[in-house]
Amino acid sequence: MAEVIWGLATSHVPSIGAAMDHRKTADPYWKPLFDGYAPAREWMAAHRPDVAVVVYNDHANAVGLDLVPTFAIGTADSYDVADEGWGRRPVPQVIGAPELSEHLVRELVDASFDIATFHKLDVDHGLTVPLSVYCPDPGDAWPCTVVPLLVNVIQYPQPTAARCLALGRALGRAIRSFPQDLKVAVFGTGGMSHQLAGARAGLINTPFDRMFLEAIETDPDRLAALSREDYIRAAGTEGIELIMWLIMRGALSDRITRIHDTYHVPASNTAVGAALFQDHGHPPMTEEGTEEGMV
């Protein structure tokens, strides 16, 4: 059976990818941010998954605003890197895991989540920057296959935080029901607090971000209780991307260890955060079909 081995929450700011692509990570502006990633990268390199489920949002590069699914999963064999207006990032093509993707679609639909499917999809910085945070030097190929899970955080009404946490819990069950022996990592991407336009452009709310970094481990239900308006008021119009971290957290069990976290302000007028959790899995099942320690 497949197992979830770790979860990574990380910002997907496009300039982070550009800094890596143009070898600016040691520049004074960027070095503190990339130094913050180093312990997580070292640990992840020693705990490589077979597949990464990357929860992200497209930025109108592959998905036009005429048709925006609330939740969608890519089911293709591979995914080209999108040209976002200044050429494709010099990173490898993303290789898919279609059997796992199709299993997840079926299981999540059966769990009453209406999942759209992409049989062809170009992936933008929302997905490739988190992969680069995980693996900064992939060479000719990323070290794992990928299941893209897209979330609408751009066009109102976005899914609620509670719905995202519930989807994550269903996703975790679906992964663990896959019959092949696979090690799976789940990425929740986007955020932290930032607003790109309007009267509050440049907003960064460090107290909220730090609360979120703590509660994503210890009290995700508190974060799920916040409304869309709560997220936008506290974290900015683009800060609502944080609801995608809840999908990652929901996919993990309650038996997790925080391996590392980091927080940096600013990167392109954005608060950047990352948090890495090892998943110790669910207790073994008893003959009666319940988990050990459960009544």
Contact 252, 186 (CB under 8 A): yes
Active site residue 194: yes
Active site residue 125: yes
Q: Count Cβ atoms below 10 Å from residue 176 Cβ, excluding itself.
A: 16
Give the amino acid at 87.
G
Torsion of CA 223, 224, 227, 230, to 10 degrees: 10
Which residues have CB under 8 Å from 82's CB, separation 6+?
61, 62, 88, 122, 123, 124
Which residues have CB under 8 Å from 265's CB, separation 6+?
204, 206, 271, 272
| Closest listed residue to residue 15, CA positions, set 97, 89, 100 | 89
Annotated catalytic residue within 12, 22, 47, 194: 194
Annotated catalytic residue within 125, 260, 280, 282: 125
Distance of CA 30 to the CA centre of its chain: 22
3-state secondary structure 196-214: CCCCCCCCCCHHHHHHHHH
What region, left, alpha or beta, does residue 203 occupy, with left being phi > 0 and alpha being psi -120 to 50 degrees?
beta
Show which residues are catalytic.
125, 194
